[in-house]
Chain A
Amino acid sequence: MLQRIAIICSAAVLAACGPVSEHAQVEQDGLIYCSEGNPESFNPQLGTSGTTVDATSAQIYDRLLDYDDKRQQFVPALARGWQALDNGTRYRFNLRTDVSFHHTNWFEPSRHFNADDVVFSFNRWLSQQHSYHYVNGGRYPFFRSSGLIRLIHSIERIDEYTVDIKLNQPDSSFLANLATDFAVILSEEYAQQLLRANHPEQIDRLPIGTGPFQFELFRKDFIIRYQRHENYWRQKPEIKRLVYVITPNANKRMLKLLTGECDVIPYPLVNELSKLDQNAEIEVGSSVSPNVSFWAFNTQRPPFDNVLVRQALAHAVNRPAIVQTIYDGNARLATGMLPETSWAYSSAEQTYPFDPAKARELLSAAGYPDGFSMTIWAMPVQRAYNPNAQRMAELMQADLARIGIDATIVSYEWNTFRQRLVEGQHDSVLIGWVADNADPDNFFRPVLSCAAARSGNNRAMWCNPEFDKLLVSAISESNVDQRKHLYQFIEDMVKQQAPLVPIANSLRYQAHRSDIEGVELPPYGGINFRYARRVNDDSL
């Protein structure tokens, strides 16, 4: 009997080895990325979630221009070139003529990319009359909160490969915004086909773009499958298949990286980083990520509409201890909204020190000597700016208890969580912001302006016309020293009003098997697999 068991066991082990060569071939041609969550849709125009951007922007789509962060300049992409005309209120883009869209089971393009596609992609979010504007929600949070919707007057097709974009006023951040991961180009022909078939909503579910990979299949909570775009207009990617395996649990992601089930993982557990680095099969990459994690108060709800209460709460939490525990030395205590890497950064301290006595005083002054109870919403996912919001919330819970505030921690699945934040169901939330471009404006307008409050991206639901005026004057100023000065004013105002408490600026980490090369993690934007390749062991 024991013999029989032994035979069965060894059969199982043998089965595990299998035909090695075929297996090696399949592995050689593909790459598995264990992503941290489900994308909300397959169109980055519709959201600001980093997970969606990672799954779409650099893989499925291209933009008119790209930002090269090494040379710190804009480089041509779908546009061969551009000129600023009429004192910077009109931009003319000359488009490439050799760009083909994805050929898939659900769409066969009959023509190459041209001006119609650009006009369609822009008008979708720009014009409320556009037939696709309200398809799948009709909120374009990035374009609304970055001000692009109000900045662009109109977009015009000049000829088949030329478009003009007219602006309402000159703006120094315009090109930077066009180079972000959100300003992607969709296919107009595909949109028309869907409209005729009466299924316009499919445009964001079965996406068609010009990017290096084409979408194949998405199974929620399990996988997203892409294959190489064989007619890609730039250098084709080396890997033939790209698969995202959705693995929300950070521990499991690490384990799967160790067993080789994942080739690349985002957001490895920060406190395990040093251990991972010693493992020869695994390499840890980091990039400067212009981000800030913060604790935002819902200023529409009492008692958080009272600035004294907000200041008290800012005094009540021990931020240095939190940063030490959560980031384990891989982050810097935030001194304001702007991270150290921004050119408008100043070393002046623009946050509140930890001082429970002062916090109690402020609470009494605000009329809450006995404290109150509140909720802290903690993100269910790891982000570069916050690897463990739940734990952070627990630490804050303890700090708050010392000044008599009874805090409960709330969390939902990520997409539900974001949706309820937009609806303003929270008292306070631990979340953060990753900048989309290098302009300091991007740390304020999309996060704290009135427009952002309307589009639901302003987690503090804070709208202050004076603050908005400051933002506008900063963006219209072209003198860099003057602008820097203005951003210090803005930082001061954020401190005074305390709609949120900045917590930390951290690096963004990513870990991969050592036989993978070329996975790009640009500071502004999502992960990019265009140059990814697998190095053969023989060639090492």
Chain B
Amino acid sequence: MIRYSLRRLILLVITLWLLSLLLFSLNYWYPGDPLTNMSGITANNTIAYQQAELARGFDHGLLSQYVHFLEHLIHGDWGISLVTEQPVFDEIKPLMGATLELGLLAMALALFLGIPLGVYAAIQQRGLLDRVIMGLSLSAYSIPVFWLAQLFILLFALKLNWSPISGQINPLYAINVQTGSVLVDILISDSPYKTAAFYNALHHLWVPVVVLAIMPLTMLIRIMRNSVLDVLQQNYIKAARARGLTDRHIMFRHTLPNALQPIVRQLGLQFSVLMTNIIITEVIFNWPGVGSWLVKSIYERDFPVIQAGLLVLASLILMVNVFVDVVHAWRYPQIRKEIDAE
């Protein structure tokens, strides 16, 4: 287990290193001055520019520039935005909170609904409800998220008036942004209208969360159904039946734990899909997260921000994947054997 974890961690470090190399080279591939692209300091600001030149090793060769680049990256000194002239690292923290809030809630919703629905469909195999669930999940899977989001806005916001179109909360509540996750911010705020603010935030939150959850949800249902069906074919289930155990006992003690294995393996992949969709969803719902920030910075050619956005999203996806792999291998020892056998 330790060997496996170490191997994964080393792989993670190597991938992150490659990512840093890519980001470093981007500064030279973008149009304009590499130092400005990296630090956000323009040559007009002579003194700061000269300081940055020294601090980032621009008086030496490429290698020293790269070493300094890494140093700055690790110390959280990611330069300043070309547009707002604010430190990028400080800007990204609340945005990260908003993105994580949306992503985690969507993932939780997908798991919470997906697993029971998948199991249910498997038990009812070829029954009416199985067909309905599988049919719906297939059609939902084929809807692109940008279209689904517009559709939901049209239906829930404009026709039914059940939800607002955009934002995290009605701005009149004047909740100060601290973590970026609006629910947490409300809880730690000293607003006199905490309860109302909380309801208002949920009111804003549910449509983007549902939109985001649908894609992983449909995948989870399908995987869960197939996996439960597989497990039910196994000899140990037959043996359990023969021993006269109740259906309930077989389901919770024997089927589910084994059927969850492909789900855990899929979580990393689903998370990557979710992060891609979250960028689109954030733009459509004006969600103040990393995704909409990244898209905006591309329009504005704000290179330090583009880099930071890429770095954060990419390393988040990498780390979640490695984490899921390790947990997966820890919970299901047979996987380790498969990998080691290669």
Which of A8, A15, A241 interacts with B203 by CB under 8 Å? A15
Q: For the complex, give the distance between the alpha carbons of A144 and B101 in Å.
A: 49
B164 touches A26 (CB 8 A): no
A19 touches B195 (CB 8 A): yes
Which of B129, B200, B202, B299 interacts with A23 by CB under 8 Å? B200
- Given A15-B202, A219-B177, decide whether A252 and B165 contact each other with a Cβ distance below 8 A: yes
Residue in chain A with minimal CB distance to B173: A26
- Given A19-B195, A259-B158, A416-B301, decide whether A241 and B174 contact each other with a Cβ distance below 8 A: yes
Residues in B neighbouring A15, C-beta threshold 8 A: 199, 202-203, 206
B288 touches A255 (CB 8 A): no
Scoring B residues 288 to 315 as 1 if CB is less than 8 Å from chain A, else 0, what string do you get?
1000110010011100000000000000
- Given A1-B117, A26-B172, decide whether A256 and B84 contact each other with a Cβ distance below 8 A: no
- What's the nearest-Cβ distance from chain B to residue A100, in Å? 23
- What's the nearest-Cβ distance from chain B to residue A203, in Å? 15
Q: For the complex, give the distance between the alpha carbons of A4 and B113 in Å.
A: 10
- In this complex, the member of B164, B171, B288 whose beta carbon has the largest number of chain A beta carbons within 10 angstroms is B171
Tell me if A221 counts as interface (CB < 8 A to partner B): yes
B203 touches A259 (CB 8 A): no
B165 touches A255 (CB 8 A): yes
Q: For chain A, give the interface size range.
A: 35 or more
B286 touches A255 (CB 8 A): no
B165 touches A220 (CB 8 A): no
- Given A19-B195, A22-B196, A220-B84, decide whether A243 and B172 contact each other with a Cβ distance below 8 A: yes
Tell me if A465 counts as interface (CB < 8 A to partner B): no
Scoring B residues 69 to 90 as 1 if CB is less than 8 Å from chain A, else 0, what string do you get?
0000000000000011000000
Tell me if A343 counts as interface (CB < 8 A to partner B): no
Residues in A neighbouring B288, C-beta threshold 8 A: 219, 221-222
Scoring A residues 79 to 103 as 1 if CB is less than 8 Å from chain B, else 0, what string do you get?
0000000000000000000000000
Tell me if B66 counts as interface (CB < 8 A to partner A): no
Q: For the complex, give the distance between the alpha carbons of A252 and B172 in Å.
A: 19
Q: For the complex, give the distance between the alpha carbons of A453 and B153 in Å.
A: 46
Q: For the complex, give the distance between the alpha carbons of A217 and B171 in Å.
A: 11
B165 touches A259 (CB 8 A): yes
Residues in B neighbouring A16, C-beta threshold 8 A: 162-163, 199, 202-203, 206
Tell me if A245 counts as interface (CB < 8 A to partner B): yes
A413 touches B300 (CB 8 A): yes
- What's the nearest-Cβ distance from chain B to residue A2, in Å? 8
Tell me if B170 counts as interface (CB < 8 A to partner A): yes
Residue in chain A with minimal CB distance to B168: A222
- Given A256-B165, A415-B83, decide whether A22 and B206 contact each other with a Cβ distance below 8 A: no
Scoring A residues 7 to 34 as 1 if CB is less than 8 Å from chain B, else 0, what string do you get?
0100011011111001101110110100
Q: For the complex, give the distance between the alpha carbons of A223 and B286 in Å.
A: 11
Tell me if A225 counts as interface (CB < 8 A to partner B): yes
B195 touches A27 (CB 8 A): no
Q: For the complex, give the distance between the alpha carbons of A216 and B84 in Å.
A: 17
Q: For the complex, give the distance between the alpha carbons of A22 and B173 in Å.
A: 10
Tell me if B34 counts as interface (CB < 8 A to partner A): no
B165 touches A32 (CB 8 A): no
Residue in chain B with minimal CB distance to A13: B162
Residues in A neighbouring B203, C-beta threshold 8 A: 15-16, 18
Tell me if B161 counts as interface (CB < 8 A to partner A): yes
Q: For the complex, give the distance between the alpha carbons of A412 and B302 in Å.
A: 12
Tell me if A156 counts as interface (CB < 8 A to partner B): no
Tell me if A258 counts as interface (CB < 8 A to partner B): yes
Tell me if B324 counts as interface (CB < 8 A to partner A): no
Q: For the complex, give the distance between the alpha carbons of A252 and B150 in Å.
A: 11
Scoring B residues 159 to 189 as 1 if CB is less than 8 Å from chain A, else 0, what string do you get?
0011111110011111011000000000000
A18 touches B164 (CB 8 A): no
Residues in B neighbouring A413, C-beta threshold 8 A: 83, 299-300
Tell me if B146 counts as interface (CB < 8 A to partner A): no
- Given A1-B116, A219-B288, decide whether A258 and B158 contact each other with a Cβ distance below 8 A: yes
> In chain B, residues 261-300, which have Cβ atoms closer than 8 Å to a Cβ of chain A?
286, 288, 292-293, 296, 299-300
Which of B120, B163, B173, B177 interacts with A1 by CB under 8 Å? B120
Tell me if B29 counts as interface (CB < 8 A to partner A): no
A255 touches B158 (CB 8 A): yes
- What's the nearest-Cβ distance from chain B to residue A243, in Å? 4
Residues in B neighbouring A222, C-beta threshold 8 A: 167, 286, 288
> In chain A, residues 272-292, which have Cβ atoms closer than 8 Å to a Cβ of chain B?
none
Tell me if B231 counts as interface (CB < 8 A to partner A): no
Scoring A residues 466 to 507 as 1 if CB is less than 8 Å from chain B, else 0, what string do you get?
000000000000000000000000000000000000000000
Q: For the complex, give the distance between the alpha carbons of A416 and B172 in Å.
A: 30
Q: For the complex, give the distance between the alpha carbons of A26 and B129 in Å.
A: 46
A22 touches B157 (CB 8 A): no
Residues in B neighbouring A5, C-beta threshold 8 A: 113
Which of B83, B173, B202 interacts with A220 by CB under 8 Å? B83
Tell me if B30 counts as interface (CB < 8 A to partner A): no
- What's the nearest-Cβ distance from chain A to residue B131, in Å? 14
Q: For the complex, give the distance between the alpha carbons of A22 and B299 in Å.
A: 40
Residues in B neighbouring A29, C-beta threshold 8 A: 172
Q: For the complex, give the distance between the alpha carbons of A19 and B116 in Å.
A: 32
Residues in B neighbouring A1, C-beta threshold 8 A: 116-117, 120, 129
Residues in A neighbouring B17, C-beta threshold 8 A: none
- Given A16-B163, A220-B84, A259-B165, decide whether A26 and B170 contact each other with a Cβ distance below 8 A: yes
Q: For the complex, give the distance between the alpha carbons of A220 and B94 in Å.
A: 13
Residues in B neighbouring A8, C-beta threshold 8 A: 113
A245 touches B171 (CB 8 A): yes
Could you list which residues of chain B lie within 8 angstroms of chain A, going by C-beta atoms?
A: 83-84, 113, 116-117, 120, 129, 153, 157-158, 161-167, 170-174, 176-177, 193, 195-196, 199-200, 202-203, 206, 286, 288, 292-293, 296, 299-301
6 inter-chain pairs at a CB distance below 8 angstroms, sorted by A residue, are A5-B113, A18-B196, A19-B195, A26-B170, A222-B288, A247-B166
Considering the complex of A and B, which 4 residue pairs feature the smallest CB-CB distances, nearest first? Answer: A18-B199, A22-B196, A30-B172, A243-B171
Beyond A220-B83, A259-B165, list 11 extra A-B contacts (CB 8 Å): A8-B113, A12-B202, A15-B203, A22-B195, A22-B196, A23-B200, A30-B172, A221-B288, A222-B167, A256-B164, A261-B170
